[in-house]
Amino acid sequence: MRELISNEHFSLRKYRPGDEHALFEGVNESIKELTRWGFYHTNFTLEDARDDVAGRIDSWNQGNSYTFFIETSPASLFAGNCSLNELEPENNRAALGWWVRTSQVGKGIATAAGSLVARAAFEDLNLASILIYTNAENKASRRVAEKIGAELANIKPEENGIFCAVYELKPEDLRLE
């Protein structure tokens, strides 16, 4: 999987040592929204961020998942991340997810990042499809999935009683932002 993707507004790159400070600041700025959707936890520490970054680098190096660090241009502000994970070589598919820090929401970052990572995944990994899982109540993430061309496959209950919207994206349906 390529380690850098960019457009005129931002770049997506592989996490690297030293990114923990930016991740820590971004998560803490966005902790209310992130915990609402089941990500991260209150009292997220710099040590947690360091472990998170190290884990993302290790997973990338092992080919288990690919999480991109999103930076705005030209300011190089950490804007969030976009991940390709749950790789299923036997089904020739993977899952795509993202989050954008609170101060950067509404700027089209999730849509552009999602479409760019999906395109790279289709090209580099020759995937037949990408699944996108989101809380059924998360209208913003559902809209991003639809804007990049994914089709709603189903809504299913999770073990915790929350409903999950499952989208499927195929290479021919991908819309680039």
| pLDDT tens digit sequence for 7-59 | 888 899 999 999 999 999 999 999 888 877 777 788 999 999 999 999 999 99
Confidence of residue 177 (pLDDT cuts 50, 70, 90): low
Tens of pLDDT, residue by residue over 136-170, are 999 999 999 999 999 999 999 987 888 999 999 99
Tens of pLDDT, residue by residue over 71-96, are 987 778 999 999 999 999 999 999 99
Domain ranges of the chain: 4-127
**What is the pLDDT, as a whole number, of residue 36?**
74
**Token code pair at residue 139:** 């209208």
Q: What distance in Å separates the CA atoms of residue 39 and residue 147, rounded to the nearest whole number?
A: 23
CB 62 within 8 A of CB 56: no
CB 119 within 8 A of CB 96: no
CATH architecture for residues 4-127: 3-Layer(aba) Sandwich (3.40)
What's the DSSP call for residue 172?
A: G
Beta partners for residue 12, in sequence order: 5, 70
* Chain mean pLDDT for the chain: 94
The distance in angstroms from the start CA to the end CA of the chain is 20
CB 33 within 8 A of CB 106: no
Beta partners for residue 151, in sequence order: 168
**What is the pLDDT, as a whole number, of residue 117?**
98
List phi, psi (to 5°) of 42: -65, 155
- pTM here is 0.93
